[in-house]
Amino acid sequence: MLRVRTRDAIAFQIGVAIFLSIILFIILIPLWRVIVTAFVPLDTYTREGIPFFLAPWDWTVEAFRQLITHSLFPRALLNSFIITGLGTIISLLLTIPMAYGLSVKNLPGRNFFMILILFTYLFSPGLIPVYLLITRMGLTDNFLAIILPPAVSVYNTLVMMRFFEGLPDELREAAALDGANEFQILWNVMLPLSKPIILTIGLFYAVYFWNEFFTPILYLNDHDLMPLPVLLRNILISASFNEYVEYDAFSSSALESLKAAGVLITMLPMLAIYPWIQRYFTKGTLVGGVKE
């Protein structure tokens, strides 16, 4: 954009920068407070509550140590990784072929399949019919109950379909002339060209499964199957000392610190993959996906 450095323009720039800084602080201050709460030592906490700033030598990882050594924690972490990993793989295995099939324009019945999936996007009968289906299939206390009902997102399928449609037809035709069947075309020609979109949509599925807490509460009664967000929720709603937090009069960190540490640990994998996701969504990969 053309930049004319008049006095007005510079005053306006300062205004814009101040506005953005305020927004930035509104986002950052609560997160900062979580960090300080998680690292505050117990004696500081009992003396003066939670300070806004904590001297560098006062930071303690006691709350994290207590949380990680908790009997339910390793199991919950493992469960979360299984649900996220398996869920993402199943989701992609169901999404990619469908998106590819629908991107073949002259496929007889393409409109039928389109309507078949679009209708489920537009009309949902709600929670109870799904709940009945899952419980009657005997999937309670099974990770598949968490993974299967949301496995294919219609939106993601359509975004991926648009991407496949954007690839030149000549590629398919040339491969077909060479005698490749559709499996080989998809696997050897299309997939290598679609790495960015597959990675992006895979990451969105992964984020979804990592964050999911309602269906685990709904379908998993066995404590050994509890994923991390559910454990975190149980810790967060424990107003006092109970079975979820091994906290007693001799505890070396405050209940608040344990809660905040739980929040940070659950956030951590998200923060780790965040730069990867960000690289793609700034390019506008996901903008304008659903449009017929």
Min separation Cβ 276 and another protein, Å: 11
Q: Quick one: which of 124, 168, 170, 177 contacts another protein (CB under 8 A)?
A: 124
Whether residue 201 contacts residue 156, with contact meaning beta carbons closer than 8 Å, is answered with yes
**Cβ-based nearer residue to another protein, 26 or 177:** 26
**Cβ-based nearer residue to another protein, 151 or 220:** 151
**Cβ-based nearer residue to another protein, 82 or 180:** 180
Q: Quick one: which of 92, 226, 232, 245 contacts another protein (CB under 8 A)?
A: 232
Query: Is 50 a residue that touches another protein (CB under 8 A)?
Result: yes
Q: Quick one: which of 58, 69, 111, 113 contacts another protein (CB under 8 A)?
A: 113
Residues 6+ apart with CB under 8 A from 61: 39
Q: Nearest Cα to 156, choosing from 199, 193, 110, 126?
A: 199
How many Å apart are CA 160 and CA 203, to the nearest integer? 13
> What is the per-residue binding string for another protein in 172-201, x denoting contact by CB under 8 A?
---------xxx--x---------------
Q: Quick one: which of 41, 87, 202, 262 contacts another protein (CB under 8 A)?
A: 262
Whether residue 201 contacts residue 160, with contact meaning beta carbons closer than 8 Å, is answered with yes
Query: Is 260 a residue that touches another protein (CB under 8 A)?
Result: yes
> What is the per-residue binding string for another protein in 8-47, x denoting contact by CB under 8 A?
xx--xx--xx-xx--xx-xxxxxx-xx--x----------
How many Å apart are CA 40 and CA 253, to the nearest integer? 8
Q: Nearest Cα to 261, choosing from 63, 77, 68?
A: 63
Q: What are phi and psi of 241, to 5 degrees?
A: -75, 120
Query: Is 53 a residue that touches another protein (CB under 8 A)?
Result: no
Q: Quick one: which of 140, 207, 251, 252 contacts another protein (CB under 8 A)?
A: 207
Give residues 128-167 in contact with another protein (rule: CB under 8 A): 128-133, 148-149, 151-152
* Segment near another protein (CB under 8 A); pick from 60-68, 81-89, 160-168, 273-281: 273-281
Give residues 208-227 in contact with another protein (rule: CB under 8 A): 210-214, 218
**Cβ-based nearer residue to another protein, 55 or 287:** 287
**Under DSSP, is residue 280 helix (H, G, I), strand (E, B) or coil?**
helix
Min separation Cβ 229 and another protein, Å: 5
CB atoms within 10 A of CB 199: 15
Min separation Cβ 251 and another protein, Å: 16
Counts for the chain of helices (H) and strands (E), in that order: 15, 0
Q: Quick one: which of 43, 85, 115, 120 contacts another protein (CB under 8 A)?
A: 120
Q: Nearest Cα to 95, choosing from 175, 214, 194, 210?
A: 194
Q: Nearest Cα to 167, choosing from 156, 155, 175?
A: 175
Min separation Cβ 264 and another protein, Å: 9
Whether residue 248 contacts residue 185, with contact meaning beta carbons closer than 8 Å, is answered with no
How many Å apart are CA 71 and CA 244, to the nearest integer? 9
Per-residue CA distances from 237 to 30, 120, 279 (Å):
19, 35, 36
How many Å apart are CA 131 and CA 111, to the nearest integer? 30
Give residues 73-112 in contact with another protein (rule: CB under 8 A): 93-95, 97-98, 100-102, 104, 106-109
